[in-house]
Amino acid sequence: MLRVGLTGGLASGKSFVADILVTLGCHLLKADEVGHRLLEPNGAAFAPVVEAFGPDILGEDGRIDRARLGAIVFQYPSQLERLNAIVHPLVFDEEERFLSRAALQHPGGIGIVEAAILIETGNHSSFDKILVAWCPPELQVERAMHRGMSREAALARMARQMPLGEKLSFADAVIDTSGDKEATRQQVLAAHRKLREWAAVGSGPKQETERDR
């Protein structure tokens, strides 16, 4: 199975790209959803996160209130690192299990993990190919505000992520999502054809990029 990492940034269109790839037969796991499940009361990250940050992060329903937790970790980088040290290894384990299961079901298929901070975590090296959903920063902000986020919050979130322009150096294929949906869809179709070719011939470890050296 070809292991593909799909990344981008805030409101870069990566989920739209992912959804199209699913309709084309790709196996997809969304890392953000995995992280959310891990923080549920029955999730593997729940107890260690509550122990690390205290019961004040819990809501009245006994669940972790992500807004309260976010107010702590996004204000203090050291606290964000502390949270990531708990959650990220668990997310990576879930990704590996997903890809292993998908490979058993469809050995010649394409398994995709969608993750906003795939490169920032260093986990991009676990994949054969990297797709980057790109659009200009001003469009990221515009889209985020359309979803209800304030401009200040959008810029703060983007500041915690690697700029999309820098992510392009890691990409085996780039999807420019700045046009209309049909233009994006056509690019995804072209990228999928490349992925099918790579999957058919087999792919070793992803080639080293300049940033990896």
Distances 169 to 156, 165, 177, 183, 200 between C-alpha atoms, Å? 23, 8, 17, 23, 25
Tokens for 190? 């072209």
Average pLDDT over residues 93-116: 96
> Is 90 exceeded by the pLDDT of residue 213?
no
Confidence (pLDDT) at 201: 84
Q: For the chain, give every domain's residue range.
A: 1-26+109-205, 32-107
Average pLDDT over residues 163-184: 96
Tokens for 166? 């820098």
DSSP string, 37-98: HHTSTTSTTHHHHHHHH-GGGB-TTSSB-HHHHHHHHTT-HHHHHHHHHHHHHHHHHHHHHH
1-26+109-205: CATH superfamily: P-loop containing nucleotide triphosphate hydrolases (3.40.50.300)
Greatest alpha-carbon span in the chain: 53
Q: Does domain 32-107 have CATH number 3.30.70.980?
A: no
> Is 80 exceeded by the pLDDT of residue 202?
no
> Is 70 exceeded by the pLDDT of residue 207?
no
pLDDT tens, position by position, 118-166 = 999 999 999 999 999 999 999 999 999 999 999 998 998 898 889 999 9
- CATH topology of 1-26+109-205 equal to that of 32-107? yes
pLDDT tens, position by position, 29-85 = 999 999 999 999 999 999 999 999 999 999 999 999 999 998 899 888 899 999 999
Distance CA(103)–CA(94), nearest Å, equals 14
Band of pLDDT at residue 204, cut at 50, 70 and 90: very low
Confidence (pLDDT) at 76: 87
pLDDT tens, position by position, 183-200 = 999 999 999 999 999 999
Find out whether 35 and 118 touch, Cβ atoms under 8 Å.
Answer: no
Nearest of 162, 65, 173 to residue 116 by alpha carbon: 162
**Higher per-residue pLDDT: 8 or 153:** 8
